[in-house]
A and B are shown apart, each in its own frame.
Chain A
Amino acid sequence: MIEFHVNNKPVSFSGDEDTPLLWILRDHLKLTGTKFGCGIGSCGACTVHIDGLASKACTSKASTVAGKQVTTIEGLESAHGELHPVQQAWIDEDVPQCGYCQGGQIMAAIDLLKKNPDPSDAEIAREMRNICRCGTYVRIRKAIHRASAMMREGQ
């Protein structure tokens, strides 16, 4: 039995300890905002935060998250329905097309802004490695700059 927290709620998983966090979230906890894209930790559609750090849920085995705090895209909204500034910036820039990768993109962008509150285009290009097959990269870049400004002003 592996116990950990997802979006501040305690959860437990009693299956195969090699099961990736991705499938525990999706099939067992019914948190489907974390998406399956490649299964090899390449595309980033499954990006979540484990103890505050962006991680690929598809290559994070259950055994490695024991006792940890996992945050998924569903866990960003405040209890009063207030969005995270990065989510709001995504809306303001009208980023999504199909929308499938965007949860992972947002989780990756939050991680980037935590490490680097005011990234340049080059830094965004280096850190944002998630694939968007619809090609919303230019709007993602704008949204990160917007979120960065919002978060710095908010402090």
Chain B
Amino acid sequence: MLRRTFLIGGLTASGGFLLGIPAVKALAQVDPAGASGKIGFFVEIQPDNRVVIGAAQPEIGQGVRTSMPMLVAEELDVDWANVTVRQMPLGIVKTADGYTWKYGGQGAGGSTAVTNNWDFLREVGATARQMLINAAAAQWNVESASCRTEPGEVVCDTLGKRIRYSALAEQAATLPVPEEKPVLKSPSDYRIIGKPTGVVDIREIVTGKSRFGIDTDVSGMRYAVIQRSPYLDGTVKSFDDSKARKVPGVLDVFAIEGPAPGEPYLVLASGVAVVATSTWAAMQGRKALKIEWDKGPHQQESTESFWRQAEELLSGSGQVVRDDGDLDGMLRQARKVVTARYEIPFVNHAPMEPQNCFVHVDQDKARVIAPTQSPSGASRAIAAVTGLSREHIDVEMTRVGGGFGRRLTNDYVAEAAMISQKIGTAVKLQWSREDDVKHDFYRPSGLHEMKAGLDASGTITGWTQRLASAGKYYRRPNVTPEEQYAAELYVDDFPAQIIENLRIEWFEIQSGMPRGSWRAPAHTANAFVVQSFIDEIAHASGQDPLQLRLKLYGESRALPYGQHGGPTFNPWRLSRLLEHVARRIDYAAVRPAGRAVGVASHFTFGGYAAHAVELEVSSKGTLNIERIVAAVDCGVAVNPLGVEAQLEGGTIDGLSTALNLKITVSDGQVVQSNFHNYRVARMAQMPAVLETHVLPFGDKPTGMGEMGLPSIAPALANAIYNACGVRIRKLPLRDQLKKAFA
């Protein structure tokens, strides 16, 4: 592996051993305080034999601060109880043709951290272990091959000797990093991988000591808030700051330039910034502003106009993005044709920690402390605002109070940079909850038209999905109009390649709503649509919905899968999970009227999940979710406790969103503003029982951040239909259930 060639060993000031990748500075120049203090190294053996392992990825609640260091610790062969984990900063290195990673890729998106670092981090651990073995062998004057390790020690059985890693650190640090790829452990020898492991920094969390971005406090920093245009792509026409400037603590007020309509976003909106000596003073200053807005190009836009546009588009013909076999012929011959339309609303990410960012632009360099899913995006945002070269921009990462895709976009980092540059000092920008709900890169909204043709035996012979949507690639640089569909329709998804005659068609809705990646992006919409429609087909043709799925998924085989999560997809892995959840929920049991079970399953970014839901709908339409059984196959579960947490969290996120959530637009403005009208689920909506099952497969892990989410919404809708006969085709479910029983 190429990245291994960058590994370098060295000595800490306190006599410990480091294994890191200081590709910029020679080791002798490494600041010892920096090395032993907080940054830049994957492995540090301390004199007391404790081990510090660096975590390079942003921790947004997906558990990588625990699971990534587990990979290093496993191959280094140390006791997990002796490990301390430290967050590493962004590491980028300037090369002749741009920038490359110093510590491997860093980012939280697409459920990729475990998959991408599985080999790399185990090799880091194994390399360090080999260097410690080599040091012991040299000391004992034996071959390295005659030595082995036990946690924290090198052992030579022939000599009957053992020595702690810490006693070898000084010598190991002087040895060259082995050229050859290290030998990795066999899974049967794992002591850490596969063992349920608690959140590594949980004590800091439950005692209030964890540092999130919002907790950043740097001496002399200012506090800022921004009043952004409530109108999509609206701009500041004029503003009166006379009252704002009189608020005690307010230091400065100035306009923030927004993006030009249709152009890529650096920041989300035009607005007016208020800088003060405290957050509250800045907020009070903002309240006192009088701003006249130019309402911009979308002031007529509303949710109603959006759906009208979708309907009009679907009455015409769109961009065919997949066309297998002879769909039209099959539909003509079909004994039965089933059609349905499904509506997916915009939704807000609403991470619990509102957006915030600390930036200090200081002449020829900048320091950033940001809760971000994309630290390199933060570095690019600062460079774009300031013109600074990226190697002079230090990005520190904090624990992140939720991401869900929102913090893949660093607009708030760019805003903070604009403010710091303008005032010439350090600033912490704080968004309010209202700012966050009203200014987001929302999950795209769309109208899906589905049609399936069946033959006399009930076999699906033709299938088409026509989607009119406002896609998330809107205003992305370097994406052509013909490529817009690719973010909303993953053309190799089930049932492509299984139903031979299949067409997928795309229509782009024009909208001023900013759109972006929302946890499991298009899978949340497509799983709801496809897995609801499969049930509709089953009911229309007198088949059992579970059996119909099992028949379609078929034998274990690798189907080519060209989108993220490929290169293959094995539909049988969904069958295995479905049968498991069906058994656990007692699928075939006869239940009293009003109570029923629904199932669904989905393949997301390389991982497989299935849900079974048992619920009751009263004669008045009151929904009571009794029990959810969720199962996931993410290959090897590096940390089963973390995998279960992600499956629980994904299920509840999916449930909360499907039941309750939508963002609507009126007069070119987002209607919702805070948790009173954007009603994220609370404890009261939880099912009495939530069971999670992790079914292992093969010898490689896939990520877990997103796959627990997509199949819960259709399982709920399918169970509701089975319980009361109401088929819900529009999200959120609760609104529609209410309507049906009104």
**Which residues of A does B touch, CB under 8 Å?**
15-16, 19-20, 23, 26-28, 30-40, 42-43, 45, 72-74, 76-77, 83, 87, 90-91, 94, 96-103, 106, 121, 124-126, 128-141
State A101–B401 Cα separation when bound (angstroms). 8
CB pair B214–A35 under 8 Å, yes or no, is yes
Return the chain A residue nearest B649 by Cβ. Answer: A135
Task: Return the CB mask of B36-62 against A: 1 if under 8 Å, else 0.
Answer: 000000000000000000000001111
CB pair B652–A135 under 8 Å, yes or no, is yes
On whether A135 and B683 interact (CB within 8 A), knowing A19-B280, A32-B214, the answer reads: no
State A39–B400 Cα separation when bound (angstroms). 19
Interface CB pairs A-B, < 8 A, 28: A32-B211, A35-B401, A39-B433, A39-B434, A40-B433, A42-B676, A43-B675, A96-B202, A97-B62, A97-B649, A98-B60, A99-B202, A99-B401, A100-B212, A100-B402, A101-B352, A101-B401, A128-B682, A129-B684, A130-B683, A131-B675, A131-B680, A132-B352, A133-B351, A133-B404, A136-B645, A138-B648, A138-B686
Q: List, in ascending order, chain A residues with CB within 8 A of B430's CB.
A: 36
Q: List, in ascending order, chain A residues with CB within 8 A of B350's CB.
A: 133
CB-based closest 4 A-B pairs: A33-B208, A135-B652, A98-B61, A100-B401
State A73–B205 Cα separation when bound (angstroms). 10
Q: List, in ascending order, chain B residues with CB within 8 A of A77's CB.
A: 207
State A26–B432 Cα separation when bound (angstroms). 15
Return the chain A residue nearest B654 by Cβ. Answer: A135
CB pair A133–B352 under 8 Å, yes or no, is yes
State A130–B686 Cα separation when bound (angstroms). 13
Closest-CB distance, A85 to chain B (whole angstroms): 11
- Which of A16, A28, A100, A124 has the most CB atoms of chain B within a 10 A radius of its CB? A100
Q: A23-B279, A27-B278, A40-B674 are in contact. List 13 more A-B contacts (CB 8 A).
A: A27-B280, A30-B217, A32-B217, A77-B207, A90-B202, A97-B63, A98-B402, A99-B202, A125-B686, A128-B683, A131-B352, A131-B682, A134-B352
Q: List, in ascending order, chain A residues with CB within 8 A of B311's CB.
A: none
Q: List, in ascending order, chain B residues with CB within 8 A of A73's CB.
A: 206-208
Closest-CB distance, A147 to chain B (whole angstroms): 11
- Which of B206, B280, B686 has the most CB atoms of chain A within a 10 A radius of its CB? B206
Closest-CB distance, A12 to chain B (whole angstroms): 16
Q: Does B248 contact A (CB under 8 A)?
A: yes
Q: List, in ascending order, chain B residues with CB within 8 A of A45's CB.
A: 352
Closest-CB distance, B196 to chain A (whole angstroms): 8
Q: Which of B243-285 contact A (CB under 8 A)?
A: 248-249, 278-281, 284
On whether A129 and B656 interact (CB within 8 A), knowing A98-B61, A98-B400, A100-B353, the answer reads: no
CB pair B203–A91 under 8 Å, yes or no, is yes
Q: List, in ascending order, chain B residues with CB within 8 A of A15's CB.
A: 248-249, 278, 280
- Which of B215, B400, B646 has the most CB atoms of chain A within a 10 A radius of its CB? B215
Closest-CB distance, B370 to chain A (whole angstroms): 15
State A39–B675 Cα separation when bound (angstroms). 10
Return the chain B residue nearest A23 by Cβ. Answer: B280
On whether A98 and B352 interact (CB within 8 A), knowing A91-B198, A138-B648, the answer reads: yes
On whether A16 and B248 interact (CB within 8 A), knowing A94-B202, A97-B61, the answer reads: yes
Q: List, in ascending order, chain A residues with CB within 8 A of B63's CB.
A: 97
Within 8 Å by CB of A36, from B60, B354, B676, lies B354
Return the chain A residue nearest B211 by Cβ. Answer: A32
CB pair B223–A27 under 8 Å, yes or no, is yes
Closest-CB distance, B320 to chain A (whole angstroms): 38
**Which residues of B does A touch, CB under 8 Å?**
59-63, 198-199, 202-203, 205-212, 214-215, 217, 223, 248-249, 278-281, 284, 350-354, 399-404, 430, 432-434, 641, 645-646, 648-653, 655-656, 674-676, 680-684, 686, 688, 690
Q: List, in ascending order, chain A residues with CB within 8 A of B215's CB.
A: 26, 32
Closest-CB distance, B338 to chain A (whole angstroms): 34
State A40–B217 Cα separation when bound (angstroms). 24
Closest-CB distance, A88 to chain B (whole angstroms): 8
Q: List, in ascending order, chain A residues with CB within 8 A of B211's CB.
A: 32
Return the chain B residue nearest A32 by Cβ. Answer: B215
State A137–B655 Cα separation when bound (angstroms). 12
State A35–B208 Cα separation when bound (angstroms). 9
State A123–B212 Cα separation when bound (angstroms). 31
- Which of B208, B248, B434, B646 has the most CB atoms of chain A within a 10 A radius of its CB? B208
Closest-CB distance, A119 to chain B (whole angstroms): 11
Q: List, in ascending order, chain B residues with CB within 8 A of A135's CB.
A: 648-653, 655-656, 681
Q: List, in ascending order, chain B residues with CB within 8 A of A39's CB.
A: 432-434, 674
Closest-CB distance, A78 to chain B (whole angstroms): 11
Q: List, in ascending order, chain A residues with CB within 8 A of B212's CB.
A: 32, 35, 99-100
State A90–B432 Cα separation when bound (angstroms). 28
Within 8 Å by CB of A137, from B60, B652, B674, lies B652
Closest-CB distance, A87 to chain B (whole angstroms): 4
Within 8 Å by CB of A124, from B59, B680, B683, lies B683
Return the chain A residue nearest B691 by Cβ. Answer: A138
- Which of B198, B249, B284, B404 has the most CB atoms of chain A within a 10 A radius of its CB? B198
Within 8 Å by CB of A35, from B352, B400, B651, lies B352
Q: List, in ascending order, chain B residues with CB within 8 A of A140's CB.
A: 683
Return the chain B residue nearest A77 by Cβ. Answer: B207
Q: List, in ascending order, chain B residues with CB within 8 A of A30's CB.
A: 217
